[in-house]
Amino acid sequence: MDQGLSSPPPPRVYRPCVVCNDRSSGYHYGVSSCEGCKGFFRRSVQKNMQYTCHKDQTCPINKVTRNRCQFCRLQKCLAMGMSKEAVRNDRNKKRKLAQMADSGGCGPGGSPPVEELTEDDQLTIQDVLEAHRATTPALTNGHSSPITTQVEVRSPDQKGSEQVGFLWEKVTELSSAAIVKIVDFAKKIPGFLTLSTSDQITLLKAACLEIMILRICERYSVERDMVHFADGTWLRQEEVEQGGFGPLTAKIFHLARQLHSLRCDQTEFAMLGSVCLISGDRSGLEDVDRIEQMQEPLLEALKHYVRSRRPDQPQVFAKMLMKLTDLRSISVKGAERVLHLKLEIPGTLPPLVIEMLDRVENVCIP
């Protein structure tokens, strides 16, 4: 017998605690964290603690300084993705499990059992979330308060065609940068770079606009009804529309409102993006079976994560998948919009069109 086949698998290794960089004990409340930060976050949420920073709310948090400022430590926990809802679910888990045992494996009212994240789920989510964070510029100043300064893209003397031209330049600049980040995101998804060059390009070209729209949805503010872009710019729906997205804009903003009504968090947006990318039903793929096998653990991890966050709402996962169908429909309209822009703006193609048509092939393979 081949000795390699009988050797035990290597131990699971988690990335360091995302809050203080100490040794992680596993995946807690949505992120890889140490026991200290796990316990601190749980106590803070359960007791609804209100902390105060005695400096400027930008205290460094690491394994040496983490106990010096509870305010900044809690803010960093939240900024790195720790979920308050997961703490509340943990608190009720024993009661729910007891109720399910009494009702023959179902929750109260016949609801399904509380989903548990397997170790494989945790590692899959960890990889995808790390790829997402590495390619999604943060909208925070350090790890504390969000940047709330609105960048006004319209000046008083910019009217009519000048204003439209200014917005066009702004949106295409932001879109071009976003596409490069999406290519980097794909490269970081486990297994993507092991696919053939042809399949990598096919998947990226098919999913690029879908992932871009998802990221716009993630950056949408329900309170402001605006999108907060990576450079700090806030744009209203009409400004995005004038910037080149045209009638597509209303559909994107509608989708953003729907996703936020489902309480999608950063992990779910990241996982949805990975599911869009690794999709075996794209036209022109060479190795459909392998890509479908790659997508299966992504879907399973997303399903378990969504249901673990919302044990009383088992239907939300199905609703999210329906939103992916809507997203694909919007993306098709978006591709048509890109082609239409050739006629609207003759001459040199703007950055958005160049990136959408050519950039993926140019930067796909290292």
pLDDT of residue 12: 53
Question: Is 220 inside a domain boundary?
Answer: yes
Is residue 218 domain-shared with residue 164, that is, in the same domain? yes
Question: Is 113 inside a domain boundary?
Answer: no
Element housing 235 (H / E): strand 234-236
Identify the CA nearest to 233 among candidates 156, 174, 175: 174
Identify the CA nearest to 308 among candidates 143, 112, 159, 151: 112
The last residue of one of the domains, among 82, 110, 128, is 82
Q: Which residues contact 175 (CB under 8 A, 6 or more apart)?
A: 212, 244, 351, 352, 355
Identify the CA nearest to 81 among candidates 30, 132, 117, 42: 30
Mind spelling out the 3-state secondary structure of 180-207?
HHHHHHHHHCCCHHHCCHHHHHHHHHHH
Is residue 263 domain-shared with residue 345, that is, in the same domain? yes
Question: Is 325 inside a domain boundary?
Answer: yes
Is residue 46 domain-shared with residue 178, that is, in the same domain? no
Is residue 78 domain-shared with residue 125, that is, in the same domain? no
Is residue 235 domain-shared with residue 303, that is, in the same domain? yes
For the chain, the domain total comes to 2
**Cβ-based burial of 326 (10 A; exposed 0-12, middle 13-18, buried ≥19):** middle
Is residue 39 domain-shared with residue 174, that is, in the same domain? no
Which of the pair, 209 or 364, is modelled with greater confidence? 209
Question: Is 3 inside a domain boundary?
Answer: no
Which of the pair, 337 or 268, is modelled with greater confidence? 268
Cα dihedral 159, 151, 223, 272 sign: positive
What's the chain's average pLDDT?
Answer: 77
CATH number assigned to the domain comprising residue 187: 1.10.565.10
- d(Cα 37, Cα 20) in Å, to the nearest integer? 8
Task: Quote the crossing angle between the two packed helices 161-188 and 119-134, to the nearest 10°.
Answer: 140
Question: Is 103 inside a domain boundary?
Answer: no
* 350 secondary structure, DSSP code: P
Question: Is 110 inside a domain boundary?
Answer: no
Question: Is 221 inside a domain boundary?
Answer: yes
Is residue 18 domain-shared with residue 129, that is, in the same domain? no
Is residue 55 domain-shared with residue 124, that is, in the same domain? no
- pLDDT tens track for 97-136: 445 444 444 444 444 555 678 888 888 899 999 999 999 8
Band the pLDDT of 316: cuts 50, 70, 90.
very high
pTM score, whole prediction: 0.63
CATH number assigned to the domain comprising residue 33: 3.30.50.10
Residue range(s) defining the domain that contains residue 276: 120-136+143-363
pLDDT of residue 349: 47
Q: How far is CA 264 from CA 127, 170, 218, 257, 269, in A?
A: 18, 27, 8, 11, 7
Query: Coil, strand or helix: which one is 265?
Result: coil
Is residue 60 domain-shared with residue 158, that is, in the same domain? no
Element housing 249 (H / E): helix 248-261
Is residue 148 domain-shared with residue 42, that is, in the same domain? no
- pLDDT tens track for 8-40: 444 455 678 899 998 887 778 878 888 889 889
